[in-house]
Amino acid sequence: MIASATDIAKAVRTKECSAKEVAAQCLARIESTDGNTHAFLRISGEKAIERARQVDEAIARGEDPGPLAGVPIAVKDNICTVGGTTTCGSKILEKFESRYDAHVAQRLQAAGAVIVGKTNLDEFGMGSSTENTATATTCNPWNASRVAGGSSGGSAAAVAARMVPAAIGSDTGGSIRQPASFCSVVGLKGTYGRVSRYGLVAYGSSLDQIGPLAVEARDVALLMGVIAGHDRRDSTSVDAEVPDYVAGLDDPLDGLRIGISEEYLGEGLDEEVRGCVMAAIENLKTRGASVVPIHLPHMNYAIACYYVIVTAEASSNLARFDGVHYGHRTPEPKDMIDMYASSRGEGFGAEVKRRIMLGTYALSSGYYDAYYLKALKVRTLIRRDFEEAFQSVDAIASPVAPTPAFTIGEKTEDPLAMYLSDIYTISANLAGICAISVPCGFSGAGLPIGLQLMGPAFGEGKLLSVAHQYQQATDHHEQVPPASSTD
Ligand code: GLN
C-alpha cells in the first residue's frame, strides 16, 4: 500500500528508503490495479525510474532534493509535460507532444517529485464523469459500475485506489472537487491566480485553476505549497506570498464562523448527502466553530451563467485546433476549408462540438449582449454575494455534489442532467474564490460523500486547516476502496 506523500518524502530524505524503490513500488501498484480502473492514459515508467535515480543521487551528494523528495505524482493529461503525449483525452491531440513542461510540472520536479504518468479526463475538461473521453471511461474504485466523477476523474481514482499518493487536476467548474468527493479523497481548487496556468491546455481561461488531490489534507497542503506562487508566464498569476500551508494546519479553529446557505441545501439534494454534510458541520461545531446562516441570492443563476461563459471561452480557446498548428489533420482534404472542417469534425468528440457551437452562438453578433454580456453581469452579482457573505463568515460549508457517484452511462444522453451535477461547485469558479472537497461519509450503498468548504480569495490556508482537523477527528478518508484492498 502506498504511503502518504508526507511520509514518503520524509523516508526518502532520511534515506530510510530510496526514491527508486518508491517509484518501482508505485509503478507495480499501477500495473496491478489500473487494468479495471483506467485512471491512467499513459504511464512513464522509465522516465520515472530515471528521475527517481536523480533524486537518490542528489541525496547521496548531500543535497536537499526538496519537500516532495521521491514522491510519485500523477498529472492530469491536459497539463503539458515533456516526453510523451499530452492528449487532453481528445482524438485531436492523440499524438501531441509538448515541447515544454507546465509551470506546475516544473515546480513539482524541482521539489523532488517523480511524475509517474498522465491521468484520464473528460475531453479538454468538459464533463463531470470522465466518460467524454477518446479512450476508456475511468471507473470509480469504490464501485466499478459508477463514474469516478470528472473531469479530473483519472487523478481522483488513481489517488483513491492508492496507485499514487497524490495527483494534480484542474478545476474550471468543479473538476477537482467533484471527482474528489465521488472517490473519497481531498481536492483543492485554489483562488483564481494562485497557481500558474502556464502549460495547462486552456478550457475556460477565466475559470481554470490547477490544484492537488490526495487522501489527506496534509498532503494537499504540502503540494499546494509547492505549486502555488507567482509565474510571469501567466499574466493572471497573482504575486502574493504563499503561506506555509503545512505549518498552519493545526491553527486552532476557535471562533471559526461557518456559513450555511439554503441555496446549497435545497431542492434536488440527496438525503444521504445532506445527512453526511450536516453531520460534518456538527462535528466542526464541537471543534469550536459556530454556524451562521447566510444568503447567496444569485446562486440559482450560476449554472446558466457558467455554461454561457465557459462555452464562449472554450469556443475561442479551441479555435487553435485547426489541423495546422496542432494535432490531427484530415488525410485528404478537398480544399483548405474542408481541411479545417474535417480535421475538427474528426478530432473533437460530441460534447466538445456541442460546447463550441453554444459558445460561438453566445458570442455572435446580435446575441453577444443578450447572452455573453448578460452572463458577465450575473457573474459580478454572484461574486458580490460571496464578498458580502465573507464579511460575516470565514468559510461556507456545502455539499460538493447533489448525489454520490452516479452510474456509468446514466447521464450521457442528457447533457443538462450532467451539467446539474456541478451545481454546488461552479460558483466558486465564477467568483474566483478557493474551495476544498473533503470526505465526510458514505451512502448506504457504500459510495463516498464529500463536504465542500469555500473560502475567500487567498483563504486556502484556513480551508486546509479546517479539512485537516476534521480528518484528524474522523476516519472516512482511512477507508480503502475494494479495488485497492487486494495487497
Ligand atoms: N463539469 C464542468 C464542465 O463540464 C466542470 C468541468 C471542469 O471543471 N473542468 O464544464
**Torsions phi, psi for 224 (to 5 deg):** -60, -40
Q: Are residues 130 and 137 in contact, defined by beta-carbon separation less than 8 angstroms?
A: yes
**Torsions phi, psi for 256 (to 5 deg):** -65, 130
Q: Are residues 71 and 24 in contact, defined by beta-carbon separation less than 8 angstroms?
A: no
- Quick one: pLDDT at residue 487? 40
Question: In 3-state terms, what secondary structure has residue 193?
Answer: coil
- Quick one: pLDDT at residue 1? 55
Q: Which spans in 61-93 are helix H? A: none
- Return per-residue pLDDT of the chain as tens, 487 residues: 579 999 999 999 999 999 999 999 999 999 999 998 999 999 999 999 999 999 999 999 999 999 999 999 999 999 999 999 999 999 999 999 999 999 999 999 999 999 999 999 999 999 999 999 999 999 999 999 999 999 999 999 999 999 999 999 999 999 999 999 999 999 999 999 999 999 999 999 999 999 999 999 999 999 999 999 999 999 999 999 999 999 999 999 999 999 999 999 988 999 999 999 999 999 999 999 999 999 999 999 999 999 999 999 999 999 999 999 888 999 999 999 999 999 999 999 999 999 999 999 999 999 999 999 999 999 999 999 999 999 999 999 999 999 999 999 999 999 999 999 999 999 999 999 999 999 999 999 999 999 999 999 999 999 999 999 999 999 999 999 986 644 4
Q: How far apart are CA 38 and CA 140, in angstroms?
A: 9
Q: How far apart are CA 306 and CA 342, in angstroms?
A: 29
What's the CATH number of domain 5-260+390-484, 3.40.50.2300, 3.90.1300.10, 3.40.50.300, 3.40.50.1100? 3.90.1300.10
Closest Cα to atom 5 of ligand 1: 173
- Quick one: pLDDT at residue 484? 61
The cell numbers describing 444, all together, are 448506504
Å from CA of 414 to ligand 1 middle: 15
- The atom number, within ligand 1, closest to the CA of 207 reads 8
Q: Is the CB of 172 under 6 A from ligand 1?
A: yes
Question: In 3-state terms, what secondary structure has residue 416?
Answer: helix
Region at 386 (left for phi over 0; alpha for psi -120 to 50; beta for the rest): alpha
Q: Is the CB of 187 under 6 A from ligand 1?
A: no
- Quick one: pLDDT at residue 41? 98
Q: How far apart are CA 231 and CA 287, in angstroms?
A: 37
Q: Which residue has the cell 462535528?
A: 283
The dihedral through the CA atoms of 314, 320, 326, 332 has a sign that is positive
Element containing residue 155 per DSSP (H, E) = helix 153-160
Q: Which residues are tagged catalytic?
A: 76, 151, 175
Q: How far apart are CA 312 and CA 295, in angstroms?
A: 29
Q: How far apart are CA 192 and CA 238, in angstroms?
A: 8
* Paired residues of 76 in beta bridges: 119
Nearest to 12 by CA among 103, 1, 23: 23
Q: Are residues 18 and 112 in contact, defined by beta-carbon separation less than 8 angstroms?
A: no
pTM of the model: 0.97
Count of beta carbons in the 10 Å neighbourhood of residue 385: 21
Q: Find the Cα–Cα–Cα–Cα dihedral 304, 306, 309, 314, rounded to 10°.
A: -120
Å from CA of 340 to ligand 1 middle: 26
- The atom number, within ligand 1, closest to the CA of 306 reads 10
Q: How far apart are CA 461 and CA 464, in angstroms?
A: 5
Ordered by start, the domain boundaries in the chain are 5-260+390-484
The dihedral through the CA atoms of 399, 402, 403, 404 has a sign that is negative
